[in-house]
């Protein structure tokens, strides 16, 4: 059994933002292994997040991010259950980071269901044409196109994108970590990204 030092707890806290007791429990359960402890905390966070998903969220903030030179800007609405959480430093920092992330990655939607059908159909046609062009048999063309479409969702839907400040986690992971830490349901409701010269 590994001895859990205060330095190990501190390191895990810095990496996950989880509470001290949760970090200690995770390290104890995972025999001092930091990466296994991160997974342990993420799983715990996901379980907590799913329990809270049915609650009403009528509070929150509209956060803005204007990139240097004022040629690119983002507005994002992030909702929570209470006014108390809407003023919480972790919640506000999360909101700022999400606005900055959207500016950097230009997602098409928050989730796959937010992407317009015409965009999905156009992508599918491109993937089908690419597969046919490379001489793939007709019977597997649709399967290849579907696989590429899943990758398109992963790259272009905000929730499944790798977080720009830590590519080891997705925005969904980041959100679930915050829900687990704060103990209240939070959702990214909508966003708009403006770029000078874009129609």
32-81 pLDDT per residue, tens: 888 888 888 777 765 455 555 555 667 899 999 998 888 999 999 999 98
pLDDT in tens, 98-138: 999 999 999 999 998 888 889 899 998 899 888 888 888 88
> Which pLDDT does position 162 carry in this prediction?
94
Q: What is the DSSP letter of 64?
A: E
Distance of CA 44 to the CA centre of its chain: 17
Residue 17 has a pLDDT of: 64
59-110+157-195 CATH fold: Tetrahydropterin Synthase; Chain A (3.30.479)
Q: Are 83 and 146 in contact (CB under 8 A)?
A: no
Q: How far apart are CA 194 and CA 53, in angstroms?
A: 30
Which CATH class name applies to 6-52?
mainly alpha
Domain boundaries 116-155, CATH class: mainly alpha
pLDDT of residue 61: 94
């Amino acid at each position: 059994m590994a001895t859990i030092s205060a330095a190990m707890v501190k390191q895990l806290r810095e990496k996950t933002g989880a509470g001290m007791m949760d970090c200690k429990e995770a390290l104890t359960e995972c025999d001092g292994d930091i990466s296994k402890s991160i997974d342990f905390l993420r799983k715990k966070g996901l379980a907590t997040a799913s329990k809270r998903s049915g609650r009403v969220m009528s509070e929150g903030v509209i956060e803005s991010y204007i990139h240097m030179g004022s040629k690119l800007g983002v507005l994002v609405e992030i909702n929570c259950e209470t006014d108390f959480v809407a003023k919480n430093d972790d919640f506000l920092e999360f909101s700022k980071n999400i606005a900055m992330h959207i500016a950097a990655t230009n997602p098409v939607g928050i989730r796959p269901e937010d992407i317009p059908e015409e965009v999905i159909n156009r992508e599918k046609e491109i993937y089908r044409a690419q597969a046919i062009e490379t001489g793939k048999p007709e019977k597997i063309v649709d399967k290849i196109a579907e696989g590429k479409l899943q990758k398109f969702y992963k790259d272009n839907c905000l929730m499944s994108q790798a977080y720009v400040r830590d590519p080891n986690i997705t925005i969904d992971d980041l959100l679930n970590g915050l829900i687990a830490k704060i103990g209240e349901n939070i959702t990214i409701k909508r966003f708009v990204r403006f770029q000078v010269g874009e129609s």
